[in-house]
Amino acid sequence: MCLISKKCWLSLAIIALACLGGLSRASEPKAPGLWPGRQADGSMLLPNQWSLRPVGTQIELGDFPVNMVLSPDGHYVAVLHCGFGQHEVRIVDLARGCIVSHADLNESFYGLDFSPDGRKLYCSGASDELVYVFNFQKGLLTAQPDIRVRPAKELGVPVGLTVSPNGKTLYVANLWNSRVSTIALGQTRSVQDILLENTAVPVQTVPSMPAEDFDTAAANKRAKAAAAAKQNDPNGVFPYACILDARHDRLYVSLWGAAAVSVVDLKSQQPVARWEVGEHPCEMALRRDGKFLFVANANDNTVTVLDTKTGRAVEHLWATLFPNSPRGATPISLALSPDEKMLFVANANINAVAVFDVSQPGRGRSLGFIPSGWYPTCVRVTPDGKHLLIANGKGDTAKANPHGPQPVRGASREEYIGNLLKGTLSVVDLPTKKNFTQQLAAWTAEVLKCTPLRPDASVVVARSENNPIPGRVGESSPITHCIYIIKENRTYDQVFGDIKEGNGDPSLCLFPEPVTPNLHKLVHQFVLLDNFYADAEVSADGHEWSMAGYATDFVEKTWPLNYGHKKSKFSYPSEGVFNIATPASGYLWDRAAEAGISYRSYGEFVQNAASTNQPVTSKRKGLEGHFDPWYRSFDLDYADAWRANRFISELHRFEKEGDMPRLQIVRLPNDHTRGVAAGKPTPTAYVAENDAALGRVVEAVSRSQFWPHTAIFVVEDDAQNGPDHVDAHRTEALVISPYTKHGAVDSTLYSTTSMLRTMELILGLQPMTQFDAAATPMFNSFQPVPDLDAYVAVPANVDVHATNSVAAWGGQEKFNFAEEDANDDIQFNEVIWRSVKGANHPMPAPMHAGFVLVSPSRDDD
């Protein structure tokens, strides 16, 4: 085995630098007040601090395209969409550059293939336990009878699939039960399952949940789904993609959760080997002679090249931008050129396709990169080798709609961030052999312009002299302790829209100063952040980004099904529910453990017990012995005031002991609210009580012996669907410390990973992924001279015990509050808005943008 050599990277860098003029531009600090959106050079600056410069012709697609397959004649490409909204297959006529037909699907997940003659198209039926079948002729789809893989109530979930060269057999990987199904495509369509584990496991049925028992169903759904998945798939292997090696009568199945490829002998219908690869192997490509198998390892930065004769890896191709980059590139799709001399690799999280010379496996050579749109999920090459096709899951243009329809009940869900960012198809003309090197160097230079990441991730951009935040990991700081507080689902305008010093819209302010006096006092006393964005869309990826600076491809691909398809078998995918959701680089507490830094969690990544007089338990091994068993996680029946009481009692204990953990993670979730559920606190009461709890926590810390050396960071895990006139990702965030600037507005572009990076620098922790490594630290929020004045909390100005009446607007709606984000967000926010503003005041249409299209001026809306 060999890793792609640094000599190759040096050659690439020399070519790219000739076009780019050096790497210094990527290392320069961003000017304060730089806002996302269309830049003067034509690029799109994203809220996560990265940029887009996609090449080629862009064709708009639908909601989250995840897979593509070319028709055998190369005239058409079928594109599968598996997002929050309507699942579908769209057919693109490549010569005309347009969509010529489409078919709606109830639910699908990744699997898509044409028959060898191009007359049929097969597609995963996911939770419905079937495969969709379509006749295909000249770009038109005609539905045929579905293939039933198993009874609908059994748990398998067909995903990746492939058709045999003779068109007589269909092979299907089943995500949730460690099996591959072999389906005869004759009259009977018989199905035979092949277990990829050595121990037989009984088929598990999906437990039914009474529709009227919302809270009970939600409380049990996650645990039941996890238990069922473990019984069906005890080792969490998660079969994902399958590819046929007809020459050797083998089927290769990528085991998404096992860092391996399973080899199935088709004569015996048994697995005969398991070949080790990198973390989260997903898509594969096989040479026509069957000698070498290429495997994309999404949770690493690599592609493994396997010798199929021996099953050994001959090399690992480093698919990301720099040789020493942390994880995070997320290579998830592969395509070989028709002559099989080049391999194209879609790196989802860094918005680029890597290109390798693989003409001599074992001596792979990096050729450069091609800029794509946002989150490229799939890459393909046309049979003539002239065009590269890239499916961009989140598109490449802003989706702002400041004058869109009012999001009242029954209205379109197009406003929701879950399916707001429509995908695109990039059709890229590949250069001729004569011009290839020069063109690829130019494209590589464009990719390097789009990344804030530096070749040495440990180096941080220049900062002002005497800034208390270190310039690099290992330097000292007068701040020695960090308290990281996570809240739930609010936008900037919902809370701070009434503050005239910031870029807010008071008409969208739902919880102004009378409701949130502590939040307002804190940003006035310390620093107001009005250009801060969540890196996530919803809580499922929000808690991952907040704790890991990353969400795995498993989380990114599955949360839209759990959120948008309420009858889906895809469970809530994160916060320790499944091991496969864990990033390969771990979480913030894992970095603290590596550095010998003391840490403790209060409510984050822990499992509540059935009652409050029983202790919570840890969901992650790294938190065992490092969490408070009496601090309750998400539970809207448990007051944030009680959480504050518990944390403050712990703080007093630490004072008696003389020290406290240097990193403390604290969950204060009740600003999520329960809408207008009868007999429960009103949205205003929930938010006011949450505000009071935060104020008390900050006051207690500021009056403790630890205050002179402490920084408190507060952030919402995501912004969800609340109204905000700038961007749906813009959110409430605070930094509170004696070293925080006082009475200031910091309009530097920050995101969740900026907060993580700042804490890492303070505590001496290495970055977890490319995103916290690349993020702008919050230097501009800090001052060199401390102001040790304590904070004085403000009591609530409204009745925190006020409850909803049965007659409240929207009270007839039934919502699920046993877990976060279990409701239709548009409908839920409308109920909250009218609860606060009055039943006759419909909620204004929020602006939702993938990128902010505003000028740097705060006065320009």
Q: What is the pLDDT of residues 82-91, one digit of tens each?
A: 999 999 999 9
Say if residues 559 and 549 touch (Cβ distance below 8 Å): no
β-pairing verdict for 599-602 and 663-667:
parallel
Q: Which two tokens stand for residue 432?
A: 């001729």
- Label residue 35 by pLDDT band (50, 70, 90): confident
d(CA 427, CA 413): 29
In tens, the pLDDT along 315-351 reads 999 999 998 899 999 999 999 999 999 999 999 999 9
- Taking each helix axis from N to C end, the angle separating 539-548 and 752-763, rounded to the nearest 10 degrees, works out to 30
User: Tell me, what's the pLDDT at 397?
Assistant: 60
Nearest to 449 by CA among 21, 773, 768, 757: 21
User: Tell me, what's the pLDDT at 33?
Assistant: 61
Q: Which two tokens stand for residue 123?
A: 């597609």
pLDDT averaged over the chain?
A: 86
With a cut of 90, say whether residue 726 has pLDDT above it: no
Task: Lowest mean pLDDT of 237-241, 307-311, 575-579, 748-752, name the range.
Answer: 575-579
- Label residue 26 by pLDDT band (50, 70, 90): very low
| Average confidence (pLDDT) over 583-605 | 97
E runs forming strands in 201-249:
239-245
With a cut of 90, say whether residue 606 has pLDDT above it: yes
Question: Could you tell me which residues come within 8 angstroms of residue 678 by beta carbon, excluding any fewer than 6 positions away?
Answer: 804, 805, 806, 808, 811
Between vectors from CA 318 to CA 316 and to CA 322, what angle results, nearest 5°? 155
d(CA 853, CA 162): 43
Say if residues 601 and 589 touch (Cβ distance below 8 Å): yes
Query: What is the value of pTM for the model shown?
Result: 0.88
Between 338 and 205, where is the model more confident? 338
Say if residues 820 and 698 touch (Cβ distance below 8 Å): no
User: Tell me, what's the pLDDT at 775?
Assistant: 96
Q: Which two tokens stand for residue 97?
A: 């550059």
d(CA 381, CA 281): 21
Task: Lowest mean pLDDT of 207-216, 375-384, 536-545, 843-852, name the range.
Answer: 207-216
| Average confidence (pLDDT) over 191-198 | 85
In tens, the pLDDT along 610-623 reads 999 999 999 999 99
| Average confidence (pLDDT) over 178-195 | 92
User: Tell me, what's the pLDDT at 209?
Assistant: 29
Percent of the chain with pLDDT over 70: 82
Nearest to 554 by CA among 564, 566, 544, 568: 544
d(CA 426, CA 429): 10
Between 14 and 435, where is the model more confident? 435
For residue 773, CA distances in Å to 347, 383, 700 come to: 17, 39, 32
With a cut of 50, say whether residue 848 has pLDDT above it: no
- Label residue 674 by pLDDT band (50, 70, 90): confident
Nearest to 100 by CA among 77, 73, 83: 77
- Label residue 601 by pLDDT band (50, 70, 90): very high
3-state helix, strand, coil in the chain (%, to 5): 20, 25, 50
- Label residue 456 by pLDDT band (50, 70, 90): confident
- Label residue 489 by pLDDT band (50, 70, 90): confident
With a cut of 80, say whether residue 826 has pLDDT above it: no
